[in-house]
Amino acid sequence: MAAIKDISEILEIARIAQYLAFNDQSKKLFLKGNSNARLPYMITCERLSVQWQYDTDPTDSTLRGTANYLYDLLGIYGIQAEVILAAQGGVAPIVTGPSNQSVTLGDVASFTIGVTSSLSYSVAWYIDGVLVPGQIGLTYSFTPTLDQSGSIVSAIVTNGAGATPSANAMLTVTTALLGYWYVGPVNYYSLLNMGVDNITFNSSFNIVDGQPFQILVSPSSLGNNMNHVYKTPVSQGVKTSWLNTDLNNGNIPDQAFRTNIVIGSWNYEVSRDEISIDANINPSHPSWNMQFS
Amino acid sequence: MALTPHISIIPSNNPSIVGLLDDSTGSDVAITGRIIYIYAADGSLFIPATSWAIANASILLSILENDQSLSIRVDWINVSNTVLYTYSLINAFVKYEQQGIYELTQAQTANPSIAQDQNFYQNKLQLLCEVLSAQNAIDTGQDYFAAQLCIARGTYLLQNSNYFL
């Protein structure tokens, strides 16, 4: 049984098969086992009906069933027609995709197309109409820069019968949201309160927009009896509760963190004094994970 | 620069729609509006004369309850309702019958043996023939009266399901 064919391909095969069937009939030649005198008319009739519906709405869900019915009706004339089309170079490729892609800066963007072609084909990828050398597969993956956001990615698939452009897909690149964490002996509260941030932060952590974030202090002894500052974009709001099964749950306690400070587009939560993250509380936890929400 | 009037039929998925596109070239500042006249094959007005605002390049008229062969005339008028330009065309609107033929194909898909029924297939082929003949009468003969006769026969078949049972 033939692989699933695109509907437009079936219609093209039927168009050829129709003439083959009439030609046989005009010469009173009936291929063995196919002596139905009505067959050429049936092929014509069903081909036109499917073609009209395809022209009206190519996405009509009933077209797959009726096109398959048409294809089965063609019988040996359909096989002959496919041979003729193949000899003529067949039909141009059918291309689906790619879809728009949105990635965070630093991540890989992948664009994929689907190709239906009875002939061998080649693929070329383009960004904003400019050929990307060496990209010849069905998937084009790359790590975009921020200034590539808004670019249009597309492909052209070519076989012996012609070239078919893909849909245009838009690339969107967003910057990652990061927060920063300081743990150390210096109490930065006074400086931050004066609008000064000269902190050398220990590390950064990823933030999923609008979601609670977690800060891993490892080993927990690093954070023991130290001052803490965490710095996050104001877009993430002020976190009011934290979770740490070893230390405390619920609202951020006054004795742990002061009222937040805003400097520019950043929120700062500053520990009132040194926080005692005592590994002895639970020696089985070598790291200390805090979740702020 | 004078207007070179031209009107095209807009293909529609909806069989009740007569869609017109004003794809004239040139311009004439004296034009203030358009009037559409649609005639049935017997020469009578199919619908009352209809205004078509000059600001709209296209117009969709939901006026067909059955397939029809129609003669369409569009007049471009000035502020005094004087006709400055006119364009006429004829068209066989056969979407109902085309959809009917497709529905018969769907029935065959569900029950292939039905196509072996002499009654069924002979009448389906006749319906197809009427649709193709109507289009041919327009395209080749510019004869919208002959086209309407074909459409009427096809519509009769379509509206009497016993022909396909």
B35-66 per-position pLDDT tens digit: 999 999 999 999 999 999 988 888 999 999 99
A33 touches chain B (CB under 8 A): no
| Percent of the residues in chain A that have a pLDDT greater than 90, as a whole number | 30
A247-281 per-position pLDDT tens digit: 555 555 656 676 688 998 899 988 876 766 554 44
Per-residue CA distances from A152 to A14, A156, B42, B92 (Å) = 37, 13, 55, 42
CB-CB contact of A11 with A47 (8 Å): yes
- Identify the pLDDT of residue A252: 59
Residue ranges in chain A modelled with pLDDT below 70: 1-4, 29-35, 88-90, 216-224, 243-256, 258-259, 273, 275-293
- Identify the pLDDT of residue A114: 94
In terms of CA atoms, which chain A residue is nearest residue B132? Answer: A48
Per-residue CA distances from B20 to A230, B6, B10 (Å) = 65, 10, 5
- HSE, side-chain direction, 13 A CA sphere, residue B132: 11
A64 touches chain B (CB under 8 A): no
3 state SS of B8: strand
Chain A residues in contact with B109 (beta carbon < 8 A) = 65-66, 68-69
pTM of the model: 0.55
- Identify the pLDDT of residue A212: 79
Mutate which: B12, B104, B109, vs A, most A CBs within 10 A = B109
Complex ipTM, two decimals?
A: 0.85
CB-CB contact of A180 with A270 (8 Å): no
CB-CB contact of B85 with B76 (8 Å): yes
Distance CA B89, CA A290 (A): 77
Chain A residues in contact with B125 (beta carbon < 8 A) = 41, 45
B112 touches chain A (CB under 8 A): yes
Residue with tokens 């729609």: B17
Residue ranges in chain B modelled with pLDDT below 50: none
Candidates A44, A57, A66; nearest CB to B105: A66
B34 touches chain A (CB under 8 A): no
Chain A residues in contact with B99 (beta carbon < 8 A) = 52-53, 56
Per the document, the length of chain B is: 165
Cα dihedral B127, B133, B134, B136 sign:
positive
Mutate which: A50, A52, A71, vs B, most B CBs within 10 A = A52
Chain B residues in contact with A41 (beta carbon < 8 A) = 125
